[in-house]
Chain A
Amino acid sequence: MDVEAAKMIGAGLACLGMGGAAIGVGIVFGNFLTGALRNPSAASKQFGNLIFGFAMAEAFGIFSLVLAFMILFS
């Protein structure tokens, strides 16, 4: 197997990490919705926390995407 093909496979494998980020983002928003429906009056104050949690969960998916790009284009 030549290096170019291995690079492609490696980039594809690196993108698997984004699946984990997707699960994490789903958990963050799902739990926010559960909490917000139980106590809607408190929900708007937690919007900042929601976005912060979303950003944290997303960061690692982004890292794996960047890793895939680095494998492909460097």
Chain B
Amino acid sequence: MRSGMIPAIRLTTKAEWKKPDMALASMDPMHQFQVNVVASIHAGPIDISITNVVVAMWFAVGIAIALLFLATSKRALIPGRGQSVAEITYEFIADMIRSTAGSEGLRFFPFVFTLFIFVLASNMLGMVPGFFTVTSQVVVTATLALTVFATVIGYGFYKNGFKFLKLFVPPGVPKIILPFIVLIELMSFFSRPLSHSLRLFANMLGGHTVLKVFAGFVITIGGMSGLASVGAIGPFVFSVAILALEFLVAFLQAYVFAILTCIYLNDALHPGH
């Protein structure tokens, strides 16, 4: 019995997880995206259960914080290896903001840096076999993208007032087609959070599905009788190649997410061009 606002915490047993039998699980490429409740917590009518997504996010955040703390704890004048990596990352993001949003954009440095590190850490954690890929859940990426979208709108109006609406009226357009241009600009503006979130989500989803599909081929062909099982080498080599590509994609998508954030923030900082 749960009552009022006292959270009723209960750890679910492994048997309760929606888990198909292992023979099927190894062949189902979508099984890796299954969200399981680890500890069910209910505060009144609100379900704030801890799922494996949440646990994976804790891991990503924990690893990112631990690594950056370790790297910057010494603060040596001549940086060691760890500090060099931290400084390179800092400069990388700072350069990205300066080149896309100008030096005024640097006030958003903590925001962009946090987004980049979080997405990178969760993408890379997802590459570890058996770990959950947080960014393959559209709810996570949509939350991040909507935060960026709300920041752009909020800061745009805060800084520029109603001049922010100039963003939708490009200069030097003939009056006759101006309404259509404004409509197109509005549509492209409001489809931003959609494409921003779906890009990251679908890249991780697609990449990990392809990985599992080819791993499934290895099992199927390798289980064949006699000489036919040697053919499993083909998909095995291919899946290793795809794994390497996925590491590239994991970094590239974090970078794309961060640079698109900068480009959108640039609109809030300098509307009207």
A binds B: yes
Using a CB–CB cutoff of 8 Å, the interface residues on chain A facing chain B are 45, 48, 51-52, 54-55, 58-59, 62-63, 65-66, 69, 73
| Interface of chain A: mostly helix, strand, loop or mixed | helix
A45-B202 in contact given A51-B255, A51-B256, A55-B256 (Cβ < 8 Å) = no
Cα–Cα distance between A69 and B201 once the two chains are bound (Å):
12
**B260 in the interface, Cβ–Cβ < 8 Å?**
yes
**B93 in the interface, Cβ–Cβ < 8 Å?**
no
Q: Is the CB of B198 within 8 A of A48?
A: no
Point out the residues of chain A lying under 8 angstroms from B195, CB to CB. Answer: 59, 62-63
**B30 in the interface, Cβ–Cβ < 8 Å?**
yes
Encoded as 1 (CB less than 8 Å from any A CB) or 0, chain B from 186 to 226 comes to 00000000010011011101100000000000000000000
Q: Is the CB of A59 within 8 A of B199?
A: yes
- 23 residue pairs from A and B, CB less than 8 Å apart: A45-B99, A48-B100, A51-B252, A51-B255, A51-B259, A52-B259, A52-B260, A54-B256, A55-B199, A55-B259, A58-B199, A62-B198, A62-B199, A62-B203, A62-B206, A63-B195, A65-B206, A66-B198, A66-B201, A66-B202, A69-B202, A69-B205, A73-B30
Point out the residues of chain A lying under 8 angstroms from B206, CB to CB. Answer: 62, 65
User: Closest approach, in angstroms, between the C-beta of B257 and any C-beta of chain A?
Assistant: 9
Point out the residues of chain B lying under 8 angstroms from A63, CB to CB. Answer: 195, 198
Point out the residues of chain A lying under 8 angstroms from B100, CB to CB. Answer: 48
- Measured as residues with beta carbon below 8 angstroms from the partner, the interface class of chain B is 10 to 19
A52-B263 in contact given A59-B198, A65-B206 (Cβ < 8 Å) = yes
Point out the residues of chain A lying under 8 angstroms from B263, CB to CB. Answer: 52
Contact of A65 among B202, B255, B259, B260 (CB under 8 A): B202
**B96 in the interface, Cβ–Cβ < 8 Å?**
yes
User: Closest approach, in angstroms, between the C-beta of B152 and any C-beta of chain A?
Assistant: 16
Apart from A58-B199, A63-B198: 18 A-B pairs, beta carbons within 8 A: A48-B99, A48-B259, A51-B252, A51-B255, A51-B256, A51-B259, A52-B259, A52-B263, A55-B259, A55-B260, A59-B199, A62-B195, A62-B198, A63-B195, A66-B198, A66-B201, A66-B202, A69-B205
Cα–Cα distance between A10 and B203 once the two chains are bound (Å):
21
Q: Is the CB of A62 within 8 A of B202?
A: yes
Point out the residues of chain A lying under 8 angstroms from B202, CB to CB. Answer: 62, 65-66, 69
Which of B100, B202, B256 counts the most chain A CB atoms within 10 A? B202
User: Closest approach, in angstroms, between the C-beta of B139 and any C-beta of chain A?
Assistant: 14
Cα–Cα distance between A59 and B203 once the two chains are bound (Å):
10
Point out the residues of chain B lying under 8 angstroms from A54, CB to CB. Answer: 256
Which of B96, B205, B206 counts the most chain A CB atoms within 10 A? B206
Which single residue of chain A is at the shortest CB-CB distance from B100? A48
User: Closest approach, in angstroms, between the C-beta of A41 and any C-beta of chain B?
Assistant: 16
Cα–Cα distance between A29 and B185 once the two chains are bound (Å):
26
Cα–Cα distance between A51 and B258 once the two chains are bound (Å):
11
Point out the residues of chain A lying under 8 angstroms from B203, CB to CB. Answer: 62
